[in-house]
Amino acid sequence: MCLAVTACASPPQAPAAIAPQAEETPVFPEAAEAALKAALAGDAYPKTTSILIIRDGETVFETYAGTGAPDKLNDTRSATKTIVALAVGIAIAEGDLASADTPIWPLLEARAPAGAGDDLTRGITVRDLMTMTSAFHCDDNNDTPGQEEYMYPETSWTEFALGLPSEPGWTRAEDGLGPWRYCTAGSFLLGQVLEAATGEPVDQYVRTRLFEPLGITAAQWDTSPSGEFQTGGGLELTSKDLAKIGWMLTDGGRWQGKQVVPEAWIKEMTTIRRAAFEGMSYGYQIWQRPYVTPCGTFEAWFMAGNGGNHVLSFPALNTAVVLTREAYNTRGMHPQSFELVERFVLPALACGAP
């Protein structure tokens, strides 16, 4: 086999020496892999089931632990709230929803319980629900009428949510939004808004507009006792399929060169709308947090759910990270996940060292 054109063209002469090629430095070095796997083997990050790292569109690290497996449908709880916001952007682009400022009440009033609604709740818009700033008296972190545990036993979650009173003293700020309150019932209502606006069941709409273009074929939805699809969380997907969503977010709504979600909508979603918990902010059904490394601080937009589940997008690093865990309802689950990524994932990607 000819390895050098000049040498092969002159058989009588000795072949020219071929300079050895330097080995390409791996994107995620072996030392970083070893350190990450050692961390998972300890007890600092319990019930971690998978970690995937996607850099420049390629999977550079993938591992499973505990009950994790490539074909496992992960219950990442509220992490999948972000999917309904992606679907809303597609519905706006296709003209089924006029804009994010579309009022929800005209679309859902026929399903509201008798006497429900006041001036404030009847003015709630799609944007209010996506930013967790609606007038509903709903805060999952406090004992409010809309706290999600009160919703689940009800037959119709739509009636439950629309029947909520307005929050005492609620007002809009200069930007048009109210105060931030984490409200799963509002995320659920977004799915019902989509159904009313598009005329399609939300699972079918998400499948054809989002999942099929991404090559996602397995998904398990939670439903209410009356069969309403839960867009407020609990949608089960494999780690690899979560990674597809994370990478699509990182790549401006594109997947394998095709625009699945409008790029302008991804920018809308990943714009800080409100400060949330300490050190964290909120966009449209998606969180924001800075991650600190020895090489600087990098902004992440991420999907997050009970158990310590995170699907992260680091635009400056052209990287997405999936972290699935089952440490449900345990103190420190999210700080553990933040630390795991900050200590054992990002340094190798940002600094080139474990």
Sign of CA dihedral 12, 14, 19, 21: positive
- 149 sits in which H/E element: helix 148-151
Per the domain annotation, does 329 fall within a domain? yes
pLDDT of residue 164: 98
pLDDT of residue 16: 39
Q: Structurally, how many domains does the chain consist of?
A: 1
pLDDT of residue 236: 98
Q: How confident is the model at residue 6 (pLDDT cuts 50, 70, 90)?
A: very low
Per the domain annotation, does 184 fall within a domain? no
Per the domain annotation, does 266 fall within a domain? yes
| pLDDT surpasses 50 at 8 | no
The whole-chain average pLDDT of the chain stands at 93
What mean pLDDT do residues 4-11 have?
A: 34
Per the domain annotation, does 180 fall within a domain? no
Instruction: Give the model confidence (pLDDT) of 220-255 as tens digits.
Output: 999 999 999 999 999 999 999 999 999 999 999 999
DSSP 260-285: SS-HHHHHHHTS--EE-STT-EESSS
Per the domain annotation, does 81 fall within a domain? no
- CA 123 – CA 106 distance, rounded (Å): 10
6's CB contacts (< 8 A; 6+ apart) are: 16
* Joined tokens for residue 28: 């995620």
pLDDT of residue 24: 55
| pLDDT surpasses 70 at 12 | no
| pLDDT surpasses 60 at 22 | no
pLDDT of residue 27: 87
Tell me which residue of 282, 260, 255 sits closest to 270, measured CA to CA. 282
What mean pLDDT do residues 125-145 have?
A: 98
pLDDT of residue 26: 74
Instruction: Give the model confidence (pLDDT) of 64-123 as tens digits.
Output: 999 999 999 999 999 999 999 999 999 999 999 999 999 999 999 999 999 999 999 999
Instruction: Give the model confidence (pLDDT) of 184-215 as tens digits.
Output: 999 999 999 999 999 999 999 999 999 999 99
Check residue 134 and report its DSSP letter: -
pLDDT of residue 116: 97
* Joined tokens for residue 316: 């400056």
pLDDT of residue 219: 98
What residues make up the domain containing 51? Answer: 25-76+238-354
CATH of the domain at 49: 3.40.710.10
pLDDT of residue 99: 98
Per the domain annotation, does 232 fall within a domain? no
Work out the percent of the chain whose per-residue pLDDT is above 90: 92
Per the domain annotation, does 352 fall within a domain? yes
DSSP 202-245: HHHHHIIIIIHHHT----B--B-TT--B-TTS--EE-HHHHHHH
Per the domain annotation, does 272 fall within a domain? yes
Work out the percent of the chain whose per-residue pLDDT is above 70: 92
Asked if 338 and 289 touch (Cβ cutoff 8 Å), the reply is yes
pLDDT of residue 119: 97
User: Would you give the distance in Å from CA 100 to the centre of its chain?
Assistant: 19
- CA 219 – CA 217 distance, rounded (Å): 7
